[in-house]
Chain A
Amino acid sequence: MEIRKYNFDFFKVLKITVTVSIILVMIGIFGIFMMFSGKGVGIDFSGGNAITVKFREQLSIGEIRQIASKSGVNFDIIHLPQENKAIFKTKLVEINGKKVSDILDEVLVRVLTKDGYVMEGIVEIGPRVSSDLKKDATIAFILSAIGIILYLAWRFEKKFGIAAAIATYHDVIAIVGLMYLMGYEMDLLILTALLTIAGYSLTDTVVVFDRIRENLRKKVSTNLKEVINISINETLRRTIITSVTTLFSSLALLIFGGEVLRSFSIAITLGVIIGTYSSIFIASPLLIAMKLDPKKLKK
């Protein structure tokens, strides 16, 4: 039975990790700010059209662009050559009362004839739907934070709750920023990914916190910093193994899940990495920063 004990001093690299996190969060806040001003959001939040077309004959991206340009609508085109498909995206819902999907349909019929293509999917979202969605998503995020803090305050101590909530939202904000930088637009799927990440990161943090609490009770050391370091080391193997198996899932989705789930899988993959990082380097040091008093711990 192989038993190895880890003994890293995680506080040694604290300066670096704090810097990294501040940069990540700043990018994230910038991304969120841009989103609320309407940039970098997908049609779920801005309103618009995403139309998936399958062609009968192989078309190059140049040819597709040329056909699309005849519609007079400025489409963003995602070309999927293996499947012989293209996704046409635009923030417009209609032009002079005419639906964008109908405009594209007319152009395609003219150029490719009726049998030359199939409009496989249309997502058309009006501006009011998207603004309702934005409101609901914001409420859900705020309430989740309150729920987490309350539960952990009840089970542990309120500083644990606050630290866990901060670490969790650190991850969510960082992913928003990174996705924004990579040019992915915020949509329902990415939002779902963010919530999954929040859940994952929270589990990770709670596992470490649980060990800190246990070690504080056992009085492993009188030095809080040392207790935290020991706890992180003790749970490190579990943290790594779970990250690895979850990464298997997210990478399988990334490789085999197709275009529709691409942004989702990228967000989850990043989330697993950052979520693991934050429960070690962010959540636990925060307990010290907040001057956690071990005497206040609940039994």
Chain B
Amino acid sequence: MKRLDWRFYLIILFLLCSIYVLIPTVVKDIPKNMKKFFIVEPIKLGLDLQGGIHVLLEVDTKKAYEADLLGKAAQIKEAFSKKGLLYEYVKVENEGIVISTPFKEKWDEMEKIITKELFSKVDVIKVKEDSSSITYRLEFDAKVRELIEQSAVKQALETIRNRIDQFGVTEPIIHTQGKDNIVVELPGIKEPKRAIELMGKTAMLEFKLVREDITPEVISKGNIPPEVELIPERRINRETGEIQQYTIAVNREPLLTGRLLQDAQVRINNQFNQPYVWMKFNAEGARVFERVTGENVGKRMAVILDGISYSSPVIRDRISGGEAVIEGNFDHKEASDLAIVLRAGSLPAPVKVIQNITVGPTLGMDSIKKGFISSLMAFIAVLVFMIIYYKKAGIIAISVLILNLLYLLAVVAAMRATLTLPGIAGIILMIGMGVDSNVLIFERIKEEFRIGKTFRNAIESGFKNAFWTIVDSHITTLITAAILFQFGTGPIKGFAVTLTIGIAINLFTVLVGTKSVYDYLIWNKKITKLSI
């Protein structure tokens, strides 16, 4: 240990690496031809610092399952009809399908169709039997349900990703979390409210036949047949622009849904200078559309989006070509968002925003500025104190502290870890806590002097004695940091990352850095006195 040894060079090497890694963060405009020399990108800032939205969506998987059961019920009805089996009803109730038929002797045949031909993993339970009819309930295996729910979440994720891509956001982060949650992070977004509405819209498009025989009198008497439902309709008064709400009766069973849609675009109505959404069906959709309009000439058809009818024009003639429109009192943005969601497809089930953190760009800038001032102030205070109290040794401690901070930021940048506001707070605290290991060593060296050791011996045994204290105290803190990382979410996780890296680096700089500086000073400069 007579010369500058490998430890010193290691420290210098890491220092150079850190500076290299941090250049893109500090220098904002690197010339284009220089950019390829910097492989590490600037430090990634959390949404709380750069602005943006973090939204947690919950997919209503129960609804997705219900929708699936409705499909299954329809399958059963179709199979029964094909075989000429008569039934009283097949309906979805309490997360199961209930079938009732007056022809008890036919049940065995019906059950065989259900369990052998249509579905596996289904329990058939007898609910009720009396002289006139027999009622059974179908319940599907929990695994079947899980699969359906999982695929609904996956499909919702894809649909939302599609919508966000069409909306145009750079670097969106979209992933599932837990069983039925979807996390969407959109950094630097200008119109957060609009983006959230865009994601959350179910965009279930349906065309249903209006039942004009269900007049308001029938409704008020409550004699609504089971195949009919009441839905609101928005009508716009062209002169006043006012929106009025009506109630209309439609068939539950849609004639056609948005599933077969091929394209949707915003068009402008020349007469009223109003934007509307134009839709085009694919070949199959166009065929269905032509057939159902042909079958229902003279009747009214409601264009329904998410349970609200936007118009219910009379079908004057068979419509070929598969084109339709949605008109409403939309402004241009609303219409273009509607076109996006129709193009991207509907969500398999409604989603609900259960967490929304929106940070405006100015708020984030403000936090960065305050974090910077705080860290500068903390640094100056610690610097002045350490130099006054420990004199030259204080300079060693401060140098080690600077190394700590540089290494920490460099590792954060290199690991592409996200720097959040709590992370910055953690770094500021590190300024104060980071000198602790050096303080421990200095105080220990002083004690060794006190018991009469020579300068060199005092330093050697000071280090030796402080060594395990430093290791033990760092490892216990590392344990808590690691557990935090495991169980923390979002901002806490970010904090745990900074904390863990910080502790590890501190351990390194003190045990390698401080030690090698002292060794160097003792052996090379032949120093026999140092002010501590």
Contact = CB atoms under 8 A, between A and B. Distances in A.
Contacts of B356: 101, 122-125
Interface string A51-90: 0101000000000000000000000000000010000000
Nearest to B427: A249
Contacts of B426: 192, 196
B212 interface: no
Contacts of A242: 432-433, 435-436, 439
Interface in B432-490: 432-433, 435-436, 439-440, 443, 446-447, 449-450, 465, 468-469, 472-477, 479-484, 486-490
Contacts of A139: 487
Query: Which of B355, B482, B490 has the largest number of chain A CB atoms within 10 A?
Result: B355
Interface residues of B, number: 75
Contact of A198 (B439, B473, B480): B480
A192 B492 contact: yes
B378 A248 contact: yes
A294 interface: no
A253 interface: yes
Nearest to B435: A245
A245 B382 contact: yes
Interface in A145-186: 147-148, 151-152, 155, 164
A26 interface: no
A124 B355 contact: yes
A252 B375 contact: yes
A249 B433 contact: yes
Interface in A127-145: 128-129, 132-133, 136-137, 139-140, 143-144
A250 B492 contact: no
Contacts of A147: 479-480, 482-483
Contact of B487 (A101, A140, A252): A140
Contacts of B357: 121-124
Contacts of A219: none
Contacts of A3: 446, 449-450
A101 B192 CA distance: 12
Contacts of B436: 203, 238, 242, 245-246
B349 to A, nearest CB: 16
A280 interface: no
A260 to B, nearest CB: 6
Contacts of B381: 245, 248, 252
Contacts of B429: 196, 246, 249-250, 253, 268
A30 interface: no
Contact of B475 (A129, A151, A200): A151
B58 interface: yes
Instruction: Say whether chain B's binding surface is mostly helix, strand, loop, or mixed.
Output: helix
Given A1-B449, A210-B472, A214-B465, A250 B353 contact: no
B1 interface: no
A244 B388 CA distance: 13
Contacts of A203: 433, 436, 473-474, 476-477
Given A192-B492, A249-B431, A256-B377, A129 B476 contact: no
Given A155-B472, A192-B491, A256 B431 contact: no
A152 B473 CA distance: 10
Interface string B295-324: 000000000000000000000000000000
A207 B428 contact: no
Interface string A188-219: 11011001101110110011001100100000
A4 to B, nearest CB: 10
Given A5-B450, A136-B489, A151 B355 contact: no
Interface in B249-268: none
Interface in B45-84: 56, 58
A128 B367 CA distance: 28
Interface of B: 56, 58, 178, 192-193, 352-360, 362-363, 366-367, 370-371, 373-375, 377-378, 381-382, 385-386, 389, 421-422, 425-426, 428-433, 435-436, 439-440, 443, 446-447, 449-450, 465, 468-469, 472-477, 479-484, 486-492, 495, 499, 531-532
18 contacts: A1-B446, A120-B359, A123-B356, A123-B357, A123-B358, A136-B488, A140-B483, A151-B475, A192-B425, A192-B495, A202-B476, A202-B480, A238-B443, A248-B381, A252-B375, A252-B377, A253-B425, A261-B374
Q: Which 8 A-B pairs have the closest CB atoms?
A: A249-B432, A126-B354, A246-B432, A252-B378, A120-B360, A248-B381, A140-B487, A122-B358
